[in-house]
Amino acid sequence: MAPGETIEVRLAVLQLRADGIVEIRFKPGLTTDVAGVQEVVTARRRICGSGPRRVMVVLAPDVDFELGTTTTDTAPMVADRTVAEATVATTALNEKLARMYYDYIRHPFPTSVHTSEAEAVAWLLQQT
């Protein structure tokens, strides 16, 4: 896919940015479920193309999720397409949940949690 192209699924909009980062922006007001996460994973693989990319996940401020998503390990499904993954959590609750998720499920690539998109992008651009 070319920079600027997007894929929209039920839970999120994915875009390949001009800097090569794949941005996954979760939509507000929705409950994240396992089926929805699988749609995001499929779209993520497609937008990454054949090579690994840096990925920024932007959580909706009002994130809600089914319990099954907290123990679903999707990292193996995207490991071959991921250099590193930064999650942007703009609320204190989202930040705690994201950190707990990454502590509970170890990823085969570097991960980090940030409170701003600028911090996440700066961190991602340092990852090789």
pLDDT in tens, 2-35: 888 999 999 999 999 999 999 999 999 999 999 9
6-126: which CATH topology? Rossmann fold (3.40.50)
Q: Give tens-digit pLDDT for 58-82.
A: 999 998 888 877 777 788 889 999 9
| Vertex 108 angle, CA 13 and 28, to 5° | 25
The per-residue pLDDT for 65 is 83
pTM: predicted TM-score of the whole model, two decimal places: 0.93
Q: State the Cα torsion 25-31-34-37 to the nearest 10°.
A: -10
Strands 6-8 and 12-16: antiparallel
For CA atoms 108, 96, 119, 53, give the dihedral sign: positive
First and final CA of the chain: distance in angstroms? Answer: 21
Cβ–Cβ under 8 Å, residues 62 and 89: no
